[in-house]
Amino acid sequence: MAATRAPPASPAKAATAAAPEGGRTPDAGADAKAPSSRAPSSKPPFTVKDLRRAIPPECFVRSLPRSAAYLAADLCVVATLFALSTLIPRAVDLLPAAPPPPPSSSSSFLSGAPLLAPLLPSTSPQALMRLAAGASLWCLYWFLQGAHCTGLWVTAHECGHGAFSDYPLVNDAVGYVVHTALLVPYYSWKHSHRRHHGNTGSAEHDEVFVPAWSPDERPLWGSGAYRLAHLAFQQLLGWPSYLLFNAGGKDYSRWASHFDPWSPVFSPRERAEVALSTAGVAAALSLLWSASRTFGVAAVVKAYVVPYFIVNWWLVMITFLQHTHPSLPHYAEGEWDWLRGALSTVDRSFGKYLDGAFHHIADTHVVHHLFSGLPHYNAERATEAVKGVLGEYYMRDGRNVWRALWEDTRDCCYASPDAGGGEGGGAAAKAGGEPARRGVLWYRSAVTEAGKPAAKAA
């Protein structure tokens, strides 16, 4: 089923409806209609066993040699790209150099050019050509390195799910080294991510991308400039902010961090592994500091820091788009169950090249949530196998991902139940609609169809 954007709705409270359990009372969209493109929110007519039987058994086989081959290929690409990046200055030097500046008899400050010339870039055609060539080569390096380091990140994520091999020790050793090299606290994120998979789609208990329940929680969302600034922060700093401060994560009773062994995110038996993860990231940072002292800050920034932030960009963009769509429901306490929560995800393609570099984590995410132990190299085949069973419960968005990032940020301001119409079960909904369920929450837009900020709830 191709997911399409649901029309925006103006919010209003349903005062007579009972609030769901969990302490938060969502606003209901009084004028919200149930578009036919919504994913079904009723209990599906199939079980997890039915889905598993539809997938060829060999898709669940975790081959250590095959997983190691993918890892080795990624490492070779990353190492080759780094080696080539060291040749960029030499490549630029092959271009014609700018002519020397003409001699000047004046050296006074008031004459302007002579004393300031060393501080200003040359505007000669040769200098501009060298500048453009250098910038283009570095941008190409950053794009490619960021994409393939994201692939390494996905491999370590797969280790955390136990999908890399049948050997837990091997999985954790590989995942720890790779994630630590990318400044990710491996065990800490492994544990919180496991809880995300156990509570996907729950409006109270999911770990990430928990929707607001009222437009009052996002009073500036109707401003395009504000959303643009929010996206810039989310894409560049959202991932380290989540790890450090739990930004955008589940609401805990106190400050939560993936680097704190006593964080409420973790149980007492997980504290030692959290401490080990924190120590690993600290060691990686010390190595980067040492490298900057040896090779210079600029060299480390160009070779590592910029690709690191590009990895962050792809990671946040992928996960945001997997779990944020106007057609996807969220469920409040009492309505949520694991299978419907796992189906509250959407597959999206980033293009053939990036899908491959990302090991298909974005375009096979639905099956990943259903069977997280299934290795990535079998995910495409497994996705095709379950489509016939899932039917309209399978969600895939064919829009350009950059367009989707902007539109779904706008149209997913907050989530609330429908006030009185049908639940939006797509083709499965009865004619005339079914009574809305207070425990099923749908995203509402921050703007009207005319492009103006939507009215707040009364």
Summarize pLDDT for 227-285 with one digit per residue, the tens.
999 999 999 999 999 999 998 888 888 899 999 999 999 999 999 999 999 999 999 99
pLDDT at residue 267, as a whole number: 94
Within a 13 Å sphere around the CA of 318, how many CA atoms are in the beta-carbon half? Answer: 27
Please provide the DSSP assignment of 255-304 as one string.
---TT-TT-TTS-GGGHHHHHHHHHHHHHHHHHHHHHHHHH-HHHHIIII
Residue 179 lies inside a defined structural domain of this protein: yes
Number of domains the chain is built from? 1
Of residues 327, 330, 333, 332, the one with CA closest to residue 347: 327
Q: How far apart are CA 442 and CA 5, in angstroms?
A: 12
How far, in Å, CA of 365 to CA of 343, rounded? 10
For residue 53, what pLDDT is reported? 97
Q: pLDDT digit string (tens) for 301-360?
A: 999 999 999 999 999 999 999 999 999 999 998 899 999 999 999 999 999 999 999 999
Cα 306–chain centre separation: 18
* Tokens 């495409």 -> residue: 380
pLDDT, position 435? 52
Residue 39 DSSP class: P
Q: Please, which pLDDT band fits residue 433 given cuts at 50, 70 and 90? A: very low
Q: Does 432 fall in a domain? A: no
Region 155-168: mean pLDDT is 97
Per-residue pLDDT at 427: 35
Q: 252 in a domain, yes or no?
A: yes
Candidates 52, 41, 33, 36; CA nearest to 2 is 36
How many Å apart are CA 299 and CA 283, to the nearest integer? 19
Question: Is residue 360 in some structural domain?
Answer: yes
For residue 248, is it within any domain? yes
Domain range for 196 is: 48-93+123-326+335-414
Tell me how crowded residue 168 is: count the other CB atoms within 10 A of its CB.
11
Q: Closest Cα partner for 370 from 358, 386, 349?
A: 386
Which residues, at least 6 apart from 117, have a Cβ–Cβ distance to it below 8 Å? 101
Please name the residues in contact with 414: beta carbons below 8 A apart, sequence gap of 6 or more.
Answer: 11, 27, 211, 212, 213, 214, 215, 217, 218, 221, 443, 444
Q: Say if 218 falls within a structural domain.
A: yes
Look at residue 361 and tell me if it is in a domain. Answer: yes
Query: What residues form DSSP beta bridges with 443?
Result: 415
Burial pattern 192-218, b for ≥16 Cβ within 10 A else e, equals bbebbbebbbbbbbbbbbbbbbbbeeb
Q: What is the pLDDT of residue 96?
A: 83
Q: Is 290 left (phi over 0), alpha (psi -120 to 50) or beta?
A: alpha
Residue 17: is its pLDDT beyond 80? Answer: no
Q: How confident is the model at residue 454 (pLDDT cuts 50, 70, 90)?
A: low
- The H or E element spanning position 90 is helix 88-93
| Range of lowest pLDDT (35-44, 252-261, 283-292) | 35-44
The model's pLDDT over 394-423, given as tens digits with 9 standing for 90+, comes to: 999 999 999 999 999 999 999 999 875 444
Name the CA dihedral angle for 444, 450, 453, 457, rounded to a multiple of 10 degrees.
Answer: -50
425: in domain: no
Q: What is the mean pLDDT of residues 150-173?
A: 98
What span, in angstroms and rounded, lies between the C-alpha atoms of 427 and 290?
60
Q: Are 148 and 74 in contact, with CB atoms under 8 Å apart?
A: yes
